[in-house]
Amino acid sequence: MSKCTAVVGLGSMGGAMAAALLRAGRQVRGFDPSPAARSAAREAGVETVDSVDRLAGTPYVVLSLPSARVVESTLPALLSRAGTLAVVDTTTSEPDTSAACAALAAERGVSFVDAPVSGGRTGAEAGRLTAFVGGTADALTAARPVLDVLTGGQYRHFGGPGAGNVVKLLNNVLAAVNLVAVGEALAVARAHGVDPAAAAAGISGASGGSRASAAMYPDWVLSGTYDSGFALGLMARDAALAVETAERRGEHPRLLAAAGERWQEALAELGPAADFSEIARTVAPTLTS
Annotated catalytic sites, by residue? Answer: 168
- Cβ pair 43, 21 in contact under 8 A: no
Distance of alpha carbon 164 from alpha carbon 88, whole angstroms: 11
Distance of alpha carbon 66 from alpha carbon 257, whole angstroms: 22
- Cβ pair 160, 136 in contact under 8 A: yes
Element (H, E) at 16: helix 12-23
DSSP 278: G
SS3 247: helix
What number of residues does the chain have? 289
Q: DSSP letters along 21-67, please? A: HHHTT-EEEEE-S-HHHHHHHHHTT-EE-S-GGGGTT-SEEEE--S-
